[in-house]
Amino acid sequence: MRIDVVSIFPEYLAPLELSLIGKARQDGLLQLNVHNLRDFTTDRHRTVDDTPYGGGAGMVMKPEPWAQALAAVAAARPEAASADTEAPEAAAKPVLIVPSPAGERFTQATAQELAEEEQLVFACGRYEGIDERVMEWAADHFTVRPMSLGDYVLNGGEVAVLAMVEAIGRLLPGVVGNPDSLVEESHSDGLLEYPVYTKPSSWRDRDVPAVLLSGNHGKIAQWRRHEQYRRTAERRPDLLAEFDAGKLPRADRTAFADLGYDVVDGRLRRRPDAGAGRN
Ligand code: 6GU
């Protein structure tokens, strides 16, 4: 996979040289280029922003430096000549991800989808955002996807790009040493992860749950599943509405019943008379 990031703070992306993602770059599994938007300006002051039409607070990023930068990265696609010699529809367009609190929600499913792409481009906005015409212009060259990490506001897209590149990059073949660790983790099955423990078995008067020391793999798997249900019900009950409960074994239905949920038409439904929990 090739990833291009355009930002006015390229140094912000330095952590992508560390750890798993840095290793993936060294191993050639991930080709990652960071570009300075100011290198695509033509004025002496390398201006990237201006005042908003219609008035209001803050500054807006000017369109032309963005068009120059994005045209350059689109021309440098992995399938080298395809951008300028073929019809745009002949090769898959690279995906342009625009981090923004006004974007579509970035989830594990988004990460999985984007991990299949040949080339991703991230356009890091600052200030009040990028002139909207850039998004319209870019649609000829890219599949444009404004993306948000969640319902809060960051100062710019850089921190969001660090998160998204890590979430996507670790799904690429060979990046995570043991691919099994991608299987049983939070959100891969729509539930939160079960709690984990390591040695010593007793620590500061707290014992590891006995079932984990039992050697009974069936019992352990069931306990972990039920802990996933308990945690998800407590912390993220919204996730349970999406959960496919149609084929649950009886012990799992009982576990959900104890948490105040019944299975109705394959879906979990919170029992109206159920006590304490949230929602
Ligand atoms: Cl992706 N970008 C910015 N600037 N703020 C955010 C965000 C992204 N996600 C949540 N807040």
Contact indicator for 124, 5 with CB cutoff of 8 Å: yes
Q: From the alpha carbon of 149, which atom of ligand 1 is closest?
A: 9
Q: Helices marked H in 57-155 — which ranges?
A: 63-75, 82-85, 108-114, 133-138
Residue 119 and residue 2 in contact, taking contact as beta carbons nearer than 8 Å: yes
Which residue's C-alpha comes closest to atom 6 of ligand 1? Answer: 101
125 Cα–ligand 1 center, Å: 10
Q: What is the pTM of this model?
A: 0.91
Give 10-residue mean pLDDT values along the chain (279 residues).
97 93 93 97 98 97 98 81 53 94 97 97 94 98 98 96 97 89 81 97 98 98 98 97 95 97 96 70
* pLDDT at site 81: 42
Q: 163 CA to middle of ligand 1, Å? A: 10
CA 50 to CA 61: how far, in whole Å? 6
Q: By the 8 A CB rule, do 9 and 158 touch?
A: yes
Give yes or no for a cis peptide into 200 (omega within 30° of 0).
Answer: yes
How high is the pLDDT of residue 93? Answer: 94
Q: What is the pLDDT of residue 279?
A: 47
- What is the rounded (10 degree) CA torsion for 114, 115, 121, 124? 80
Angle at 108 between CA 238 and CA 130, to 5 degrees: 100
Q: Residue 240 in contact with residue 278, Cβ under 8 Å?
A: no
Q: If you measure from the C-alpha of residue 160 to the centroid of ligand 1, how many angstroms do you get, rounded to a whole number?
A: 6
Ligand 1 atom nearest residue 99's Cα: 1
What is the atom index within ligand 1 of the atom nearest the CA of 154? Answer: 5
Q: Which residues line ligand 1 (CB under 6 A)?
A: 99-101, 103, 147-150, 152-154, 156-157, 160
CA max distance for the chain: 71
pLDDT of residue 187: 82
